[in-house]
Amino acid sequence: MNKVGPSLAGIVGSKSDSVSGFDFSAGMKEANVTWDDANLDMFLANPVGFVHGTKMFVNLPGEPDRQNVIAYLNTLKK
């Protein structure tokens, strides 16, 4: 279900604006990023630096936290 952000179920391996029913920012629509582990890591560390114009306002500065989130997202692959 999409609320503040898009549903992240199945996000790994998908394109940056591919979740239907969510109104992505222009920056995210133009980013053309495929969400693999490396791109997720860079985005979670510095969302605005990785995708200029993103609506994402929270970062995860700690590498262990990012790696835990990415590992979890990998369990949600469709």
Does 54 map to a domain? Answer: yes
Can you give the pLDDT at residue 77?
80
Compute the C-alpha angle 46/39/64, nearest 5°: 65
Calpha distance 20→18 (Å, rounded):
6
Is residue 65 assigned to a domain? yes
Please tell me the distance from the alpha carbon of residue 55 to that of residue 23, in angstroms, as a whole number: 10
pLDDT tens track for 11-63: 999 999 999 989 999 999 999 999 999 999 999 999 999 999 999 989 999 99
In a domain, 1, yes or no: no
Residue 75: which pLDDT band, with cuts at 50, 70 and 90? very high
Residue 44, domain CATH: 1.10.760.10
What total number of domains does the chain contain?
1
**Assigned domain for 15 exists:** yes
List Cβ neighbours of 15 (8 Å cut-off, separation of 6 or more).
32, 33, 34, 35
Range of the domain at 58: 6-78
